[in-house]
Chain A
Amino acid sequence: MDLYMENILDHGQNPRNFGEPLDPADIHYHDDNPFCGDRLFLTAQLDESGHIKAVRWQGEGCTISKASASILGEEIIGKTLDEVKHIDKEQLLDMLGIHLSPTRLKCALLSLKVLKAGAYGLSDETFVMDEDE
């Protein structure tokens, strides 16, 4: 039952930084999870010193995937691209504070996958994320 603790439900039902995509945006990336039909589109803007100043998610998904995007989005504001690239699965799960089965892990990781692909895309480095890492 702790999967649906208040914080996760709150973020899932009232996700932060969701809405129409930012335009212009320095980061934009879209991906989906075909198994559950979750889709996420991320746009983000950087300030002059290369820190993320605004994040906007668009898409649909389950409570876990929306809460994950919402919490992750709040977390990365003010961070540099380099810092974003180093966020790993464990850090995200710490932010969420819940234990997930392998199936639901995919829901939680979609936002991180989109964020990192977007961040790497911007700096033009090869991005590989092993979901089973």
Chain B
Amino acid sequence: MTQTITSPLDIKAIRADFPILDQEVHPGKRLVFLDSAASSQKPQQVSDAMSQYNQHEHANIHRGIHVLSERATNAYEAARDKVRAFINAQSRREIIYVRNATEGINLVVATWGRHNLGPGDVVVLTEMEHHANIVPWQILQAERGFTIKYIPITDTGELDLDTYARFLREGAVKIVSVVQVSNVLGTVNPVADMISQAHAAGALFMVDGAQSVPHLSVDVQALDADFLAFSAHKMGGPTGIGILYGKRALLEAMPPYQGGGDMIKRVTFAGSTWNDLPHKFEAGTPAIAEGVGLGAAVDYLTNLGMDRVLAHERIVVDYALDRLSEVPGLILFGPDPGKRNGVATFALRDIHAHDVAQLLDAEGVAVRAGHHCAMPLHERLGVPATARASFYVYNTLEEVDALINALYHVRKTYGL
């Protein structure tokens, strides 16, 4: 087993933290979970932190006078501090709890966007965006009448940066919003350079970190990102909670997102004033236990070390790309190893991706099939659907081998 020599992580110990992985999903077929880009599994530490909270600390947060309310507030706010440190934000006021990356992007579009965009303005996105970073802009576009330009991708699945530079030169770009790691191609985009170019052109920059924050060290100050959105459930945390990071000055100037409790300072029948950051953007009772779970997930990843997480995943992904390319009739999408992370997306001859996924499932191998919420990208790739294997801290090279063996089963079923 080469992996114990090369991986910087103790995978055996890690897998013991994820009891869900240790199961038979069909008679005689062990689970091989290769769908973490859709939603990762949770370590026991996260489930325990949430149970501890639910069993001993739960009450509504903020303003409660009694002991439990104080405990709940502390637990929830401590998680915010963990997230601040994890992405190296300057202030905890810049960490806004949302439901997921999708809501984080929608918040920016609905508040900053509605306040700042109008006819003549340009928003720059890319052809490899997830629907979450396309549709909110299109909804606002119908209302405000600005222009959206999409940075094309090259045939190797990388961004065409010459066209990006041209878009910026053409002027009127108010904001650029780009996925840091593509959920389909695995491309790691050079966001640090792209951000400095955007700033030089007077534009803001939002990073969709849904597939990057769980897998590599993201430092918002080093990147100089204006906004960053990500979800807890792709990084070992629970569903229903995510983070929007925004630079404080920008967040201060933005109107609120939703109105309600907790986001106000003073309410009268004549009008209201807004609470301080981050609460201005956090109307209503939030997902408190989930916030605590996110904090535990951050602790878990921090203990592993994000550099080691990335190094381990690179080993697994590179091995997967290598072995997949041996399978006759298999087409791989995305750039060369070294320029990508997290996922291996493929098609097997002209067999529909759903058939491939179903037959892989029969062997216990869980992959995603479809357009992965990136229909425009699939149109660009010229395929209706693809199959995607995605990897996380608990995946092994043996699981890659299981995927390959199962793919040979698919070939056999189809008489190839």
Query: What's the Cα separation between A61 and B362 when bound, in Å?
Result: 20
Asked if B32 CB lies within 8 Å of chain A CBs, one says: no
Is A37 in contact with B371, judged by CB distance below 8 angstroms? yes
A34–B353 Cα gap in the complex (Å)?
14
A54 is an interface residue with CB less than 8 A from chain B: no
Give every chain B residue within 8 A of A38 (Cβ-Cβ). Answer: 384
**Complex Cα–Cα for A64 and B378 (A):** 21
In this complex, what residue of B is CB-closest to A62?
B352
Residues of A98-129 whose CB lies within 8 A of B = 104, 107
Q: Which residues of A contact B375 (CB under 8 A)?
A: 34
For A36, list chain B residues within 8 Å (CB).
352-354, 369-370, 384-385
State A38–B354 Cα separation when bound (angstroms).
10
CB contact under 8 A between A61 and B352, given known A1-B362, A4-B359, A36-B384: yes
Q: Which of A50-109 contact B (CB under 8 A)?
A: 60-64, 104, 107
* A12 to B414 Cα, complex, angstroms: 10
Question: Bound state CA distance, A63 and B384, in angstroms?
Answer: 14
Q: How far is the CA of A124 from the CA of B378 in the complex (A)?
A: 37
Report, as a range, how many residues of chain A touch the other chain. Answer: 10 to 19
Chain A residues, CB < 8 A from B352: 36, 61-63
Q: Does A25 contact B (CB under 8 A)?
A: no
Assuming A35-B370, A36-B370, A37-B384, is B414 touching A62 (CB within 8 A)? no
Query: A9 touching B414 by the CB < 8 A rule?
Result: yes
What distance in Å separates the Cβ of A87 from its nearest Cβ neighbour in chain B? 24
Select which of B369, B371, B384, B413 is within 8 A of A9 by beta carbon. B413
Per-residue CB contact flags for chain B residues 17-40 toward chain A (1 = under 8 Å, else 0) read: 000000000000000000000000
Q: When chains A and B are docked, how far (Å) is the Cα of A3 from the Cα of B378?
A: 27
Q: Is A7 an interface residue (CB 8 A)?
A: no
B145 to chain A, nearest CB (A): 27
Closest 7 CB pairs of A and B: A37-B384, A62-B352, A62-B354, A63-B355, A62-B355, A37-B385, A1-B362
Task: List 19 A–B pairs whose Cβ atoms lie within 8 Å, in order of A's numbering.
Answer: A3-B358, A3-B362, A4-B355, A4-B413, A9-B414, A13-B414, A34-B375, A35-B370, A36-B370, A36-B384, A36-B385, A37-B378, A37-B384, A60-B384, A61-B352, A62-B355, A63-B355, A64-B354, A107-B354
List the interface of chain A (C-beta within 8 A of B). Answer: 1, 3-4, 9, 12-13, 34-38, 60-64, 104, 107
B-side residues, CB < 8 A to A, are: 351-355, 358-359, 362, 369-371, 375, 378, 384-385, 413-414
